[in-house]
Structure 1
Amino acid sequence: MNKKHFLAVDLGATSGRTILGTVADGKIEMKELTRFPNQILQIHNHFYWNIYSLYENIKGGLFAAKKEGVKISSIGIDTWGVDFALIGKDGSLMGAPYAYRDPHTFGKPEEFFNIIPREKVYDLTGIQVMNFNSLYQLFALAQAEASPLEAATEILFIPDALSYLLTGNKVVEYTIASTSQILNPRTKQFEANLMRAAGVKPSLLGEIVMPGHVIGQLTDDLAEETELGKVPVVAVAGHDTASAIAAIPAENEKFAYLSSGTWSLMGIEVKDPIINKESYDMNFTNEGGIEGTTRFLKNITGMWLLEQCLKEWKKEGITYAYEKLVEMSGTVTPFQFFIDPDHPSFANPASMVKAITEFCTSRGQKAPSTHAEFVRCIFESLAMKYNFVLGKLKDLAPFEIEKLHVIGGGSKNPLLNQWTANAIGLPVIAGPSEATAIGNIMIQAKAEGIVDSLQSMRAMIRQSISIDEYTPENNTEWVTAYEKFLSITK
């Protein structure tokens, strides 16, 4: 097979990067070209994304790709969800896009439910209610009579807006649109009634395209300036989690996944959305995947708990390498302390150490006293919470779940992966850690005709990466400890 080279632009809420992906002989290789910050701008008590800075940094990635001396077959962009840019009738951006952290959406879901009940909104969209969802952002802008919204003729979600800056062509990609709480996952179309209820014209949202759609080519000026020529830009799975899930090296559909990092996303991949009373009560969400699949998942607090503790200990002059954390945890008696990682007190406390201590003591437990005990408490509690959520997924899944695939940064945490296997009683398959970039690149490869299906994408990924498998151990002890976890966290 001739070598094919693809450029992935992977943007997170705090940083971005460009990655060169090379596909040849049934395998994929990656090379990071550039890395850059993505900072929220605070102006007059509002928070915005500096979309022009992102554009300039993407251009920097194009120049870096040119220096590699290879022909770039296509470019694809993935980002975080929900946020969008407003486009005027002359094609200009109507100001900087609002960031999801802007406080103008606080309380807006509850106000919106006075117009359309919460249960009806969930039934139409299958999306968990969060105040920063696109629906409530638009509702807030409409109520404020925001000039950019009043002047807008189109809405483009962030990856689509950046692709528009590169090509001059406008599309609305399915997976990123599915995060908005405006898309109906059954029809895969926008719900005009939700837009009208928010005080926004339904015509602002255009026709949806699926991952793999070729948006266009680099504009003439970019093609000349970067010397890359008229490279196609492909609508990959624009939502970064959708690209990551596409990179799971699964052999069949009978798996659950855990995208593990600061925050964790646990779910299953299904053909049809799951929208019922149980999914509503558990606040599960239905987001779009490639080939029309649905990512049925739940958000779980992840390594945020440990990261915040490490920050506090660093202020005390103490830092730990990961290997040391593992060694420390092994010296502690197991199952002494349990917390619910998703308890509101852990959302953004002034002191995570104090919040954990208070949670434990308020429930009749002894509190951790050493750093090693805090680490063990966090890891064991996460493993137990994963088991709890997986149990709900087993009840709702249309198939038997046989294993858990862990992707993202957490796939490199062997201790937590082993404890997760122990807690859930199923094998844990860890890797790839660079799932988002791999998924982005493989969707471009599919658009190029190198692979023809999600299954063949995953087969190539299995050939290209190393994965680790963890089998359950000490099952009886973990089952008993899980009952203790449930009784404490209720």
Structure 2
Amino acid sequence: MTVATVAAADLGAASGRVMLARVGRDLLDLTEVHRFANEPVQLGLTLYWDVLALYRGVLAGLREAGRAARAAGGPERGLDGIGIDSWAVDYGLLDASGALIGNPVCYRDRRTEGVPERVHARLGAERLYEVTGVQQLPFNTIYQVAAAHGTPAAAAARRLLLIPDLLAYWLTGQQGAELTNASTTGLLDAGTGAWSAELATAVGLAPGALPPLWRPGDLIGTLTPDAAARTGLDATVPVLAVGSHDTASAVVGVPAEGERFAYISCGTWSLVGLELDAPVRTAASHRAGFTNEAGVDGTVRYLRNVMGLWLLQECLRGWQEQGEPAELGELLAAAAREPGFVSLVDPDDAAFLPPGDMPGRIAAFCRRTGQPVPASRPALVRCILESLALAHARAVEQAQELAGRSVEVVHVVGGGARNELLCRLTADACGLPVVAGPVEATALGNALVQARALGTLHGTLTDLRALLRAHTAPRVHLPGTDRSGWDAARRRLSGVPSLP
């Protein structure tokens, strides 16, 4: 086919959307057809995802995508392909009949408190990193599984499916795990690219609980009769494996030229790193908190998770709930006028991970570290964005040192690319040009991998990115020449105990 008409279902930690893409050798068009909320639900002491509502949103989005595609003269069956990506680490459990056992638990739930230490005492943190190469974050799948061991749900479970794979299963009836997302779990051997039986057994997973692996571009299956009826699509429409970890798709959507670039996939989280050919599993990499996750075409996403715009999002949500909402554009404009480097926080401090009173937590951090508490909302936003820019710069510098590769430019993609103040501050903090955009890098990467799997596109990531550059217009932010303020800010934070 000369043009592939595909749907990219992109699920984030705050919302989901389905994008309709038309892709050809000289064509790259992307339209949002449906958006829906994704908010965890607190029930008792546990924080859950409403995964059935997510599935309903995906079905509605696919129905709208098919209608829009047919109205534009697209394929009679509605779509040429469907790809799903989402956040990482969370999962659903299936019983012996293939039914879901309860709602998946949200990674921000507190059930893993103290669990990494127990797992490390048994397996050894260094050994775990040697096998998986994964940053040891408290919400990694391996720790969630260990926390759930011994519960009735875990005892009844016969299969574990990560979130995008669970939705693909409901669409197709096929069970599997896409590699880029599987690599985030802490259960995959980074050397062999296969599940680690040793680690799975150690945290109590039953034999066969981890499904067969798919790679980006693989055919997962075609729509079940039920999914076809609910979406109005033909049952022959294929569901294709893409980079189902949203960062893997976002990195495909980085319009880079050559290899001397760093990327920041910036949204609720900032994923900051390099694209490499092989993992870096040294002791220094482990101490610095870097992860080696599988990318598309056998690449390695060597990166560090930084808390990202979550701090700002939680402030905005809290003010909204208090009946005192803030308009983000006005707030950012006011923050740009605030004096710099008054107060700084470590975005990765564990206090900032759960939902709740974010302004209060930032104030407590400032008091604990002997800094002024931000006196206004613009001052608070300035504090958050300068702190995040410093965390971006630290991760970019460490990645270069640990991987032995220098970079000439930093690409910021995702929702954070819209935030001009953050992008400008990041350029200043890194001392490198920042290329901001595309905002929809994840959906674009999802669609490009589908189009190549369908035979519409050919070639490597270099070829896919050339098409991106021809059809996107990112904004370039050049760094300022005076780095004294940033150097002083870095020195101020270097003594904060929570920094790695």
TM-score normalised to the size of structure 2? 0.90
Per the alignment, do residues 382 and 13 of structure 1 end up closer, same or farther by CA in structure 2, a change over 3 Å counting?
Answer: closer
Residue 416 (structure 1) shift: 1.8
Contact 2:319 2:326 survives alignment (8 Å):
no
* Aligned counterpart, 1:413: 419
The SS at the match of 2:52 is: helix
Residue 348 (structure 1) shift: 4.7
Instruction: Name which of 132, 136, 139 aligns with 1:132.
Output: 139
Per the alignment, do residues 447 and 334 of structure 1 end up closer, same or farther by CA in structure 2, a change over 3 Å counting?
Answer: same
Residue 367 (structure 1) shift: 4.0
Q: In terms of mean alpha carbon deviation, does 86-95 or 60-69 score higher?
A: 86-95
Contact 2:183 2:294 survives alignment (8 Å):
yes
* Aligned counterpart, 1:28: 28
Partner amino acid, structure 2, of 1:159: P
The SS at the match of 1:204 is: coil
Structure-to-structure mapping, 1:11-410, within 5 angstroms: 11-43=11-43, 45-68=45-68, 69=70, 70-71=74-75, 72-144=79-151, 146=152, 148-224=153-229, 226-229=231-234, 230-311=236-317, 319-348=325-354, 351-410=357-416
Partner amino acid, structure 2, of 1:142: H
Residue 44 (structure 1) shift: 5.8
Partner amino acid, structure 1, of 2:64: A
| CA–CA separation in structure 2 for the residues paired with 1:177 and 1:415 | 34
The SS at the match of 2:21 is: strand
> 2:13 aligned with 1:9, yes or no?
no
Q: What is the Cα-based RMSD across aligned positions, in Å?
A: 2.5
Contact 2:4 2:454 survives alignment (8 Å):
no
Contact 1:27 1:461 survives alignment (8 Å):
no
Partner amino acid, structure 1, of 2:180: T
Residue 480 (structure 1) shift: 4.1
Partner amino acid, structure 2, of 1:430: A
| CA–CA separation in structure 1 for the residues paired with 2:41 and 2:318 | 26
Per the alignment, do residues 212 and 319 of structure 1 end up closer, same or farther by CA in structure 2, a change over 3 Å counting?
Answer: same
Give CA-to-partner distance per residue, 1:388-443, whole Å, 9 cap, x none: 22221121123221111101111111122112111211111100111111111111
Partner amino acid, structure 2, of 1:164: Y
Q: In terms of mean alpha carbon deviation, does 318-327 or 168-177 score higher?
A: 318-327
Contact 2:344 2:493 survives alignment (8 Å):
no
Structure 1's unaligned 5+ residue stretches are none
> 2:423 aligned with 1:422, yes or no?
no
| CA–CA separation in structure 1 for the residues paired with 2:428 and 2:309 | 19
Per the alignment, do residues 73 and 360 of structure 1 end up closer, same or farther by CA in structure 2, a change over 3 Å counting?
Answer: same
| CA–CA separation in structure 2 for the residues paired with 1:47 and 1:338 | 30
Give CA-to-partner distance per residue, 1:256-310, whole Å, 9 cap, x none: 1111123212111111111111111111111111111111111112223333444
Percent identity (aligned):
40
| CA–CA separation in structure 1 for the residues paired with 2:146 and 2:52 | 25
Contact 2:318 2:356 survives alignment (8 Å):
no
Q: In terms of mean alpha carbon deviation, does 28-37 or 186-195 score higher?
A: 28-37
Residue 351 (structure 1) shift: 4.4
| CA–CA separation in structure 1 for the residues paired with 2:261 and 2:407 | 5
The SS at the match of 2:28 is: strand
The SS at the match of 1:211 is: coil
Partner amino acid, structure 2, of 1:174: L
Per the alignment, do residues 219 and 360 of structure 1 end up closer, same or farther by CA in structure 2, a change over 3 Å counting?
Answer: closer
| CA–CA separation in structure 1 for the residues paired with 2:384 and 2:188 | 36
Partner amino acid, structure 2, of 1:88: D
Contact 2:126 2:283 survives alignment (8 Å):
no
The SS at the match of 1:124 is: helix
| CA–CA separation in structure 2 for the residues paired with 1:333 and 1:351 | 24
The SS at the match of 1:380 is: helix
Per the alignment, do residues 58 and 124 of structure 1 end up closer, same or farther by CA in structure 2, a change over 3 Å counting?
Answer: same
Per the alignment, do residues 334 and 158 of structure 1 end up closer, same or farther by CA in structure 2, a change over 3 Å counting?
Answer: closer
Give CA-to-partner distance per residue, 1:73-104, whole Å, 9 cap, x none: 10011112112233334333344433334444
Per the alignment, do residues 178 and 391 of structure 1 end up closer, same or farther by CA in structure 2, a change over 3 Å counting?
Answer: same
Q: In terms of mean alpha carbon deviation, does 135-144 or 312-321 score higher?
A: 312-321
Aligned length: 488
The SS at the match of 1:244 is: helix
Residue 20 (structure 1) shift: 0.6
| CA–CA separation in structure 1 for the residues paired with 2:321 and 2:159 | 47
Contact 1:249 1:462 survives alignment (8 Å):
yes
Partner amino acid, structure 2, of 1:34: H
Per the alignment, do residues 350 and 33 of structure 1 end up closer, same or farther by CA in structure 2, a change over 3 Å counting?
Answer: closer
Per the alignment, do residues 163 and 293 of structure 1 end up closer, same or farther by CA in structure 2, a change over 3 Å counting?
Answer: same
Per the alignment, do residues 114 and 313 of structure 1 end up closer, same or farther by CA in structure 2, a change over 3 Å counting?
Answer: closer
| CA–CA separation in structure 2 for the residues paired with 1:384 and 1:437 | 28
Q: In terms of mean alpha carbon deviation, does 252-261 or 53-62 score higher?
A: 53-62
Residue 169 (structure 1) shift: 1.8
Instruction: Name which of 489, 492, 499 aligns with 1:485.
Output: 492
Per the alignment, do residues 28 and 202 of structure 1 end up closer, same or farther by CA in structure 2, a change over 3 Å counting?
Answer: same
> 2:498 aligned with 1:462, yes or no?
no
